[in-house]
Amino acid sequence: MADSFTYFLMSWTDLSLLLLTAIGTFAGIYIGAIPGLSVTMAVSILISFTFAWDVNDALALMVGVFCGGVYGGSRTAILLNIPGAPSAVATSFDGYPLAQQGEAGQAIGLSTVMSVIGGLIGVLILASTAPVLSEFALQFAPRDYFLIAVLGLLLVGSLAAESLSRGIFAASLGAVIGLVGMDPVTAEGRFTLGSMQLLGGIHYVVVMIGLFGVAEALFQLHQLNVKPVRQNVEKIIPSLNLVLKFLPLSIRTSIIGVIVGALPGTGGDIASLFAYDHAKRSVKNPSKPFGQGAYEGLVAPESANNAAVGGAFVPMLTLGMPGDAVTAVMLGALVIHGLNPGPMLMVTTPYIFWFMVGALVLANFFLLIFGLMGIKLFSKVVELPKAILVPLILVLCVVGSYSLNNSMNEVYWMLGFGIAGYFLKIFGFQMGPIILGVILGPLMDNSYRQAMSSVGDSMPAFLIELMTNPLSIVLTLAIILLLLSNLPLKRMIRSSKNPS
């Protein structure tokens, strides 16, 4: 126990570790904020960069980048409606309207504090229950992932505020986009129209940058002559009262974040959407209606996606299994530095676990400092005249999508999605459900087929498993409950009468 505490404090007491964590967090915020620069990419570049370093130094830097990066995605989501990363998509739903109302500073301030709370809850759960939680995560069979995906798709009901049928169309469209590429099982192309380039699929960040960034930029051109809203830069740091008011919601959504993050097949992107949905269902009187700048709509996804960081480390540190793409790369880093990540990691090198936990806590403190710094300056971005902002947004979108794969194909796709998104937006289709589909489509397809092939392609056997396994029963019941409570006929009728 005393040892654990020493390991925990390692990054706090060693000056170079402290500095590296700080640098990492700071860099992470800006890497995360720029769409197209992902944390995964940054961490893999860091592997080469830190090759000759001591493993602790390398890890401290990476942990910092990870924490900062997950948070950073919210910056551009709030200011420009371009989520810096998929896990910040839900943040843009209410964050961007807030910025449009002159409250960008308050939105960033609140999201920073909530991210840190979420992050710390994530680490707390990681430190206290990692072995138990990872055993729990292992219980999820392919059919359970399928059920989670179904549960996720039901979020369409709350993301598509105005017309359910349009929401369903948009989500299915997203799923089709997500499926483009080589079928992982048979290696044949799906929706590739014979193109070799499309065999690799369409990167979901491309879809995101196009639908959110470019489509929004085009809409902004309608308001060329409208004077931008003056940003209120008073009271940027949320008051204690405000934080306490949202604390229960933050804790609930953080727990969602940790669990979804700890499942090896799902990560912060899905967690934040679940959290947003949870907020929408559970908060009866939001500060403003959801989708129009509700603080609750900011608190939930931001707590959840940062809590998911702690979750992602659960399978990584206990089993050597990645909880998401970033921890997969970090496992690679451990291997390259001569450690053996695996179930024995905690036995053979127990210090790694507590060192990581310590570094994560430290990174969250730096996040609070760096996150609250410079907000006034950032809020001014929204005050820039549209005639300057819109071309810059487009360049940023181009660079972001190009750097995904160093190829122009992604850039053309990005612009194509931007224009398509503009049309879809005109006719009342929303972007949220499309992204939901892109993220969940492949998960659903994969897990459905895994579940089917493990029971020998027999539907009765599948249904029997569904009704005999406790975990599956719970998930199935959750789906049924959600269906009954949220898609009543009333809503269907209203939406068909009063579409768009």
Partner 1 sequence: MSKQSKLQPGEPAFNLMLLLFSLGIFYEAYRISGPGFESISSPGAFPLGLGIVLILSMVVIIAGQFRKQKPDTQGALDEARQFMSAHFPLPIVIFSTMAIGYLLLLEPLGFVISTLLFLFVSMVYLRHGRFVSSAIIAAVSIAIIYSLFKLLFQVYLP
Partner 2 sequence: MIKKALATLALSAGALTALSPALADYPERNIEGIIQWGAGGATDNVARSLTPHVEDALDTTIVLTNRPGGTGVIGMNSVLTKPANGYTLLYGAENPQLYPVMGLADFTYADMTPINVIGQGLVVIAAPADKDWENLGDLLKDAQANPGTLRMGGTGAGGLPNTVLAMINSVDELDVRNVTFGGDGPGITAMLGGHIDFMPLSLAAAQEHIASGRLKGLAVLTKEPIKQLPEVAPITEALPEIESYLPWGPFWTVAVRKETPDDIVATLADAYEQGVANEQFQQFLTKNGAQSLNLRGEEAKQFLDRWQSVTAWALEKAGSAKVSPEEFGIAKP
Residues forming contacts to partner 1 in the complex (CB under 8 A) are 30-31, 34, 37, 41-42, 45, 163, 165-166, 168-169, 172-173, 175-176, 179, 183, 185-186, 188, 190-191, 193, 218, 221-222, 224, 385-388, 390-392, 394-396, 398-399, 402-403, 406, 408, 411-412, 415, 419, 422-423, 425-428, 441, 444-445, 448-449, 452-453, 457, 459, 496-500
Q: Which two tokens stand for residue 400?
A: 């972001």
- Stretch of 1-9, 178-186, 233-241, 387-395 lying at the interface with partner 2 (CB under 8 A): 178-186
Q: Identify the residue among 13, 165, 340, 485 touching partner 2 (CB under 8 A).
A: 340
Q: Which does 139 bind (CB under 5 to 8 A by kind): partner 2, partner 1, none?
A: partner 2
Residues 414 and 398: beta-carbon distance below 8 Å? yes
Residues 52-111 that bind partner 2 (CB under 8 A): 52-54, 57
Q: Which is nearer to partner 2, 149 or 299 (CB)?
A: 149
Q: Report if residue 47 touches partner 2, rule: CB under 8 A.
A: yes
- Separation between Cα atoms, residue 329 and residue 441, nearest integer Å: 24
Of the two residues 338 and 460, which places its CB atom closer to partner 1 in the complex? 460
* Contacts by 75-78, CB closer than 8 A, 24 or more apart: 75/29, 75/32, 75/33, 75/108, 75/378, 76/33, 76/34, 76/35, 78/104, 78/107, 78/108, 78/111, 78/298
Q: Residue 311 corresponds to which tokens in the numbers above?
A: 């979750």
Report the half-sphere exposure of 27 (CA within 13 A, side-chain side). 20
- Which residue lies nearer to partner 1 by CB, 349 or 405? 405
* Token couple for 396: 């940023």
- For residues 364 and 116, the answer to whether their CB atoms sit within 8 Å is yes
Which residue, 43 or 256, has its beta carbon nearer to partner 2? 43
The two three-digit tokens of residue 60, written as one number: 């401290």
Q: Are 474 and 141 in contact (CB under 8 A)?
A: no
Span from 152-160, 168-176, 339-347, 372-380 in contact with partner 2 (CB under 8 A):
339-347
What's the CA gap between 221 and 200, in Å, rounded? 34
Alpha helices, DSSP H, located in 89-229: 89-100, 104-138, 142-153, 156-159, 164-179, 196-199, 204-208, 215-220
Binding partner of residue 169 among partner 2, partner 1, none, CB cut-off 5 to 8 Å per kind: partner 1
Residue closer to partner 2, measured from CB, 185 or 463: 185
Cα 190 to Cα 177, 349, 410: the distances in Å are 10, 44, 18
Give how many residues touch partner 2 by CB under 8 A.
Answer: 66
Judged by CB under 8 A, the residue of 6, 101, 197, 349 near partner 2 is 197
Residue 394 engages partner 2 in binding (rule: CB under 8 A):
no
Q: How far apart are CA 87 and CA 75, in angstroms?
A: 12
Binding site for partner 2 (CB under 8 A): 16, 19-20, 40-41, 43-44, 47-49, 51-54, 57, 138-142, 181-188, 196-197, 199-201, 264-265, 315, 319-322, 325, 328-332, 335-336, 338, 340-345, 347, 405-407, 446, 449-450, 453-456
